[in-house]
Amino acid sequence: MLFVWPILFTALVLLYFTPPLFNNSPIVLCDHSVLVLNSGFLFTVIYALFYICLDKKAGFLAALLCFFCWVASSSVANRLGYSLAWKVVLASQLFCWTGQFIGHGVFEKRAPALLDNLAQAFLMAPFFVLLEALSFFGYEPYPGFNTRVKAKIDAEIKEWKEKKEKKIS
């Protein structure tokens, strides 16, 4: 859970080096960072719009975080240059993915959702982590949401454990 947003961030660092989608000049920020409307920007827009469609309040916050990641990752990529950026991204991705799989194995004792539906896992993971953090502080998209979700999660965990026990016996 801790590594989901860094995985997105470092992916955006690498996507900074993709060609621009439009023949426009890049946007230069005050710190000499350069924003390019490229694949990283497109992914950011898709993620942001998807999150806003899921939930207006939390989705708007997630969209802001996505755009912050895009701007910050563009700045990092611009400063590092491709020859160093890909090495930093590779090391970060290896570290974060290792942390994700260890976290799932040790704390949740189950495979990550990545193995169930790859596209959904990549798209939903950052939003799910944000919702988890917001729910810790009492956020609910509607009254009773957390209670219903907890009941459903408990039921699915029970079902999963029963299936696992049947396979063992």
Q: Quote the DSSP letter at residue 23.
A: S
The string of DSSP codes covering 41-107 is HHHHHHHHHHHHHH-HHHHHHHHHHHHHHHHHHHHHHHHH-HHHHHHHHHHHHHHHHHHHHHHIIII
SS3 35: strand
Question: Residue 130: which domain range?
Answer: 4-138
Domain count, the chain: 2
Cα–Cα dist 146/135, whole Å? 7
Instruction: Mark whether 128 and 163 lie in a shared domain.
Output: no
What is residue 31's predicted lDDT score, i.e. its pLDDT?
65
What is residue 120's predicted lDDT score, i.e. its pLDDT?
79
Structure-token match 């790859």, residue found: 118
pTM, to two decimals: 0.81
What is residue 24's predicted lDDT score, i.e. its pLDDT?
76
Instruction: Mark whether 83 and 29 lie in a shared domain.
Output: yes
Instruction: Mark whether 104 and 151 lie in a shared domain.
Output: no
Query: How large is the C-alpha radius of gyration of the chain?
Result: 19
Instruction: Mark whether 32 and 46 lie in a shared domain.
Output: yes
Instruction: Mark whether 151 and 110 lie in a shared domain.
Output: no
Tell me the helices (H) and strands (E) count for the chain, helix number first: 6, 2
pLDDT along the chain (169 residues), means of 10: 92 95 78 83 97 95 97 94 96 93 79 73 91 90 86 90 82
Instruction: Mark whether 59 and 19 lie in a shared domain.
Output: yes
